[in-house]
């Protein structure tokens, strides 16, 4: 029983580590998306200004805006995928925690039963009594 509890505790610990790693990855993706949005805003602000740019510079800005737009779409998809992975990981973590709680309760009951049996046996041996 103790081996099972230790195994379940290790699994729960591993699940928590995987969840934390997933949360870090999701936060990193969200920061990257925020940076892409800031870059897009900056590039659009260059276009909004009343300056006369050369056609080559305008093309460069347009190309950069398209690249940022592609990056934002890619990041949005990655964020969505990572959120799904994280949700599944949290579900698995809760499942392992419930199994661990059940196993811990079973182990506690088994220990109580052993203690009670030992107490009864000791009492019977002490008095030298036999059951009627």
Rounded mean pLDDT, 29-53 = 87
Report yes or no: 12 and 96 within 8 Å, Cβ to Cβ. Answer: yes
- Report pLDDT for 132: 53
63: confidence class by pLDDT, cuts 50, 70, 90: very high
Rounded mean pLDDT, 7-28 = 93
- Report pLDDT for 104: 92
Average pLDDT of the chain is: 89
Judged against a pLDDT cut of 60, whether residue 86 lies above it is answered with yes
50: confidence class by pLDDT, cuts 50, 70, 90: low
Judged against a pLDDT cut of 60, whether residue 70 lies above it is answered with yes
Domains of the chain: 2-124 (1.10.287)
Rounded mean pLDDT, 81-91 = 94
- Report pLDDT for 128: 62
Judged against a pLDDT cut of 90, whether residue 52 lies above it is answered with no
Distant-in-sequence contacts of 99-105, Cβ < 8 A, 24+ apart: 99/8, 100/5, 100/8, 100/9, 100/11, 100/12, 103/1, 103/4, 103/5, 103/8, 104/5
Tell me the two tokens of residue 83: 């959120």
């Amino acid at each position: 029983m103790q081996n099972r509890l230790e195994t379940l505790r290790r699994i729960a610990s591993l699940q928590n580590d995987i969840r934390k790693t997933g949360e870090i990855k999701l936060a990193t993706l969200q920061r990257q998306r925020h940076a892409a949005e800031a870059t897009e805003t900056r590039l659009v602000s260059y276009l909004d200004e009343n300056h006369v740019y050369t056609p080559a510079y305008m093309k460069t800005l347009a190309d950069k805006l398209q690249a940022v737009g592609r990056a934002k779409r890619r990041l949005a998809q990655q964020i969505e995928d990572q959120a799904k992975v994280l949700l599944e990981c949290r579900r698995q973590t809760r499942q392992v925690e419930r199994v661990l709680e059940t196993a811990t309760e079973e182990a506690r009951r088994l220990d109580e039963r052993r203690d009670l049996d030992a107490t009864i046996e000791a009492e019977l041996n002490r008095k030298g009594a036999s059951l009627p």
